[in-house]
Amino acid sequence: VEGCGKSTQTRALVDWLRLRGHTVTLTREPGGTEVGERCRDILLDTGHAGMRPGTELFLYLASRAEHVAKVIVPRLEAGEVVISDRYGDASVAYQGGGRGLGHKLVDELNQVATGGVKPDVTFLLDLDPEVGLDRLVRGRGEHARVCIEGEVLEFHKRVREAYLECAAREPDRFVVLDASRSPEKIEARITAEVEKLLSDVR
């Protein structure tokens, strides 16, 4: 969810893992590869705001397909820990829920893009979008504030709901965290879960 503090948590987790001697690849979506970063530039260019939901979905999937084949699988095969700042669930939440394409279609296309590669664990930093968007626009003036009302807010509420539905469908993979808690508490919970996962692997 926007404004949930995922970049801070991602960095903290990577530092924690490296301190314990793990080799970690930190990557992100859209992006993570040359083609993926080009997709990211197209997707996040505000001049393209009128893009069709299907066009948007295929660009995210294109970025993901490259990302899985060129970064995620090779790094995992090399024995590394891979942390991705967003992955397939983001398409289910934003394009499936937010844009109304539905989770079934997005699940199927994600399967094509990833060949079925899924994370061992997914942390969902859950937050009321009003609080998250407020964090993002704080200090940016009245214009920014107007941008987070009405349709934009409704969109992000659908995204949040779709993320929570993803978590409900796969409770073994997801850890849902209350992102309104302090960053230290969230970090402690994330590292505890990862520690458990790593000891199961050993």
The stretch near ligand TMP (CB under 6 A) out of 17-25, 71-79, 89-97, 191-199 is 89-97
Nearer to ligand TMP, 33 or 95 (CB): 95
Using CB under 6 A as the binding rule, whether residue 103 contacts ligand TMP is answered as: no
Among 4, 12, 32, 86, binds ligand TMP (CB under 6 A): 86
Verify binding: residue 90, ligand TMP, rule CB under 6 A. yes
Site string for ligand TMP, 59-78 (x = CB under 6 A): -x------------------
Beta pairing class for 122-126 and 81-85:
unpaired
State which of residues 12, 29, 36, 194 lies at the interface with ligand TMP (CB under 6 A): 29
- Tokens encoding 195: 């520690």
Please state the closest distance from residue 85 (CB atom) to ligand TMP, in A. Answer: 6
Site size for ligand TMP (CB under 6 A): 9
